[in-house]
């Protein structure tokens, strides 16, 4: 076994690798960007080294800097985690040239499976069924459009390199093909440095099922059963589980053998995942699944496989890389119960799942007992930055049955507290409890068809949370005044009658107005007294101070430097004191202003001053957290200003485009 490891990654997976490496007695070496100087994985490692600025292209993707640290620290091996350099053949080759073991497959296998078109050809040669489509080298738009027509809509445009849903677009009709192709190619170029795509038939009612394979250097190749990753949004996995609902032994055997043959075809070593798409219109059938791609690395969702097999896949990676043979055969493997994993992201489901950044004012998880596991790379007080994937944690639940595992996951998500960046916690809980998903009646389009059911659409203001938050602020102000009053008391033991809050008043019932900023909007509430109990009325309801202080109010509170965040039913409501002198008079009338929704890179601008636009028209594209986000016109009108150029880095809230009434430029 190795005596030391350098983890060429960050966040949750770096923490995950460090835990296993420490258990095996290995010295752990972290590399980090400037943005990650205070990150959890840096604190966990035995030593940590700075390798560059925040952008991954200047730090985590710079092979020479990582290898330089490995040489200086005497690292025996390098674990690449997932993402970043984990599937870059040149990185595996550079490690070998430097005399450092790469904990992963040989460069030849990465290269063979790294490009989807070549991988499909290899799979077909190995007798593995592939999705019908065009997997060749020609990339001119007219040719690809013709191929899409021949294949028949709907089609899927997919980046030849990489994965994770980037550079992937579903196209329903020919009129949408050109824009989808441009977007997929641009995203592929930005994510993988390779704009090439393939076009293939979109399988109706698709189930995304993958097989975990493991191979050693002695010719042994096994599969560790399947994972169902069909709950997706924009081709990004949301909830994964093992085993797959509705899986038959006949189909498991067929898919497992196909995955093992694909791995053998490229001389695979280590952990890998062979991904299939299954036509689920008539249930899972062994004659209706197709090879999609092979991920030549550990997967984000590997914990569900660990839960049902009892294996530590990271430990297996280390042992195989060190030359040890697998100690088990295919016939030794058994499935123990059911496991489900949910990806807790810093994103806002009510605003189109836009990534969310900021300080984690609160981060609390339930205890990791009774089949529950939490994998995270952040702590309370950390900052979720715009530079990397917005994952906060993976919440994994294991049970004897699928129902038990889903119940445990739902309960755990309900007990998770996150305040600061918006999260998908409530959305994930709704998914766990959705009847169709529970009954196994789902495919990769389930989320998109059920956004309203899952709460992933704009929701009304949570008035009860706003009232309770206002009470917190009011209580803070009373305490401040009490402290001030005490400092002004001349006679010991005597306080001013004007400081009493017992509701006493000679005239009508005591009441006064209270102004607060609720979700950034000025709101007026009314404070009254019922006897000695103060009460706040707002939005047709009322709340009392005792309701705030009760442990049964269903809320969690997190104080920020500006006010308080109330977490209720997985949703956050920000309440802050209203400052009448903080009104931004300069920008009061900007109904046609288009701002940057987050910090990122403005990769494309489609309009110029003088252009007439319609509401909903694409104006620009911002890339952030490895995804593209289209900016749409908020109203009909004429572009009066374009304040930034393509290629510029923009801050959240930055003024980008202004749309005035038609003819605003004097036409």
Residues annotated as catalytic are 297
CB distance 159 to 188 below 8 Å = yes
End-to-end Cα distance, the chain: 75
C-alpha–C-alpha distance, residues 395 and 530, integer Å: 44
The C-alpha angle with vertex 603 and arms to 598 and 609, in degrees rounded to 5, equals 95
CA atoms within 13 A on the CB side of 308: 26
H or E, element range at 14: helix 11-23
The C-alpha angle with vertex 656 and arms to 650 and 660, in degrees rounded to 5, equals 170
Q: Beta partners for 133?
A: 200
Helix-strand-coil percent breakdown of the chain, rounded to 5? 30, 30, 40
C-alpha–C-alpha distance, residues 23 and 155, integer Å: 47
What does each C-alpha distance from 537 to 98, 130, 479 come to in angstroms? 69, 62, 21
Q: Beta partners for 49?
A: 31
What does each C-alpha distance from 232 to 345, 428, 527 come to in angstroms? 13, 11, 46
Q: 208: closest CA among 274, 263, 142?
A: 274
The b-or-e profile of 12-36 (16+ CB within 10 A means b, else e) is: bbbbbbbebbeebebbbbbbbbebb
Three-class secondary structure of residue 616 per DSSP: coil
CA atoms within 13 A on the CB side of 398: 18
Three-class secondary structure of residue 72 per DSSP: helix
Q: Give Cβ neighbours of residue 449 (< 8 Å, ≥ 6 apart).
A: none
Q: Give Cβ neighbours of residue 232 (< 8 Å, ≥ 6 apart).
A: 165, 208, 238, 444, 447
CB distance 386 to 357 below 8 Å = yes
Q: 229: closest CA among 307, 341, 121?
A: 341
| Cβ atoms within 10 Å of 248's Cβ, excluding its own | 13
For helices 63-73 and 89-97, the axis angle rounded to 10 degrees is 30
C-alpha–C-alpha distance, residues 293 and 275, integer Å: 5
- In angstroms and rounded to an integer, the radius of gyration of the C-alpha atoms of the chain is 28
C-alpha–C-alpha distance, residues 519 and 513, integer Å: 19
Taken as a whole, the chain contains a residue count of 667
């Amino acid at each position: 076994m190795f005596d030391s490891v350098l983890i060429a990654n960050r966040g949750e997976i770096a923490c995950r690798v460090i835990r296993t490496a420490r258990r095996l007695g290995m010295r752990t070496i972290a590399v980090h960007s400037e943005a990650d100087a205070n990150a959890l994985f840096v604190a966990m490692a035995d030593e940590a080294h700075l390798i560059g600025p925040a952008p991954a292209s200047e730090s985590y993707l710079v092979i020479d800097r990582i290898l330089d640290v490995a040489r200086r620290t005497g690292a025996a091996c390098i674990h690449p985690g997932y993402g970043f350099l984990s599937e870059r053949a040149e990185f595996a080759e550079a490690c070998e040239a430097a005399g450092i073991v790469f904990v992963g497959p040989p460069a030849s296998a990465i290269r063979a499976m790294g490009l989807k078109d070549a991988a499909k050809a290899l799979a077909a040669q190995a007798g593995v069924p592939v999705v019908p489509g065009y997997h060749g080298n020609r990339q001119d738009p007219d040719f690809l459009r013709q191929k899409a027509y021949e294949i028949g809509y709907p089609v899927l445009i997919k980046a030849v390199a990489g994965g994770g849903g980037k550079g992937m677009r579903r196209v329903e009709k020919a009129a949408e093909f050109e824009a989808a192709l441009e977007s997929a190619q641009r995203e592929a170029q930005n994510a993988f440095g390779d704009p090439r795509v393939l076009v293939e038939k979109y399988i109706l009612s698709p189930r995304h099922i993958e097989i975990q394979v493991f191979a050693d250097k002695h010719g042994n190749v096994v599969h560790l059963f399947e994972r169902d990753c069909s709950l997706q949004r924009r081709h990004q996995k949301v909830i994964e589980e093992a085993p797959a609902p509705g899986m038959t032994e006949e189909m498991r055997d067929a898919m497992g053998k196909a995955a093992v043959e694909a791995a053998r075809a490229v001389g695979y070593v280590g952990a890998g995942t062979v991904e299939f798409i299954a036509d689920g219109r008539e249930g899972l059938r062994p004659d209706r699944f197709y090879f999609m791609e092979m991920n030549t690395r550990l997967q984000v969702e590997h914990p569900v496989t660990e839960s049902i097999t009892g294996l530590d896949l990271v430990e297996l990676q280390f042992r195989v890389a060190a030359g040890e043979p697998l100690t088990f055969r295919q016939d030794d493997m058994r499935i123990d119960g059911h496991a489900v994993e949910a990806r807790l992201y810093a994103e806002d489901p009510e605003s189109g799942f836009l990534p969310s950044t900021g300080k984690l004012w609160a981060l609390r998880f339930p205890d990791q007992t009774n089949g529950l596991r939490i994998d995270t790379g952040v702590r309370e007080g950390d900052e979720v930055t715009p530079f990397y994937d917005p994952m906060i944690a993976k919440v994994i639940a294991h049970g004897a049955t699928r129902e038990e595992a889903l119940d445990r996951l739902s309960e755990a998500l309900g007990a998770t507290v996150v305040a600061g960046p918006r999260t998908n916690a409530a959305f994930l809980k709704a998914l766990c409890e959705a009847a169709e998903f529970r009954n196994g009646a789902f495919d990769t389009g389930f989320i998109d068809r059920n956004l309203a059911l899952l709460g992933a659409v704009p929701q009304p203001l949570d008035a009860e949370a706003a009232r309770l938050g206002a009470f917190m602020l009011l209580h803070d102000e009373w305490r401040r005044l009490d402290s001030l009053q005490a400092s002004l008391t001349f006679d010991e033991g005597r306080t001013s009658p004007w400081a009493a809050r017992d509701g006493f008043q000679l005239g009508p019932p005591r009441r006064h107005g209270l102004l607060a900023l609720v979700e950034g909007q000025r709101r007026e509430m009314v404070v009254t007294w019922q006897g000695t109990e103060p009460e706040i009325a707002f939005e047709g309801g009322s709340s009392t101070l005792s309701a705030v202080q009760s442990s049964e109010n269903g809320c969690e509170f997190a104080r920020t430097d500006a006010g308080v965040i109330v977490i209720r039913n997985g949703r956050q409501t920000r309440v802050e004191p209203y400052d009448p002198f903080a009104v931004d008079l300069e920008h009061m009338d900007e109904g046609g202003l288009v701002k940057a929704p987050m910090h990122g890179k403005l990769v494309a601008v489609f309009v110029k001053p003088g252009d007439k636009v319609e509401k909903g028209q694409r104006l620009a594209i911002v890339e952030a957290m490895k995804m593209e986000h289209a900016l749409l016109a908020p109203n009909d009108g004429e572009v009066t200003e374009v304040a930034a150029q393509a290629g510029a880095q923009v801050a959240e809230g930055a003024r980008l485009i202004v749309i005035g009434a038609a003819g605003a430029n004097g036409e």
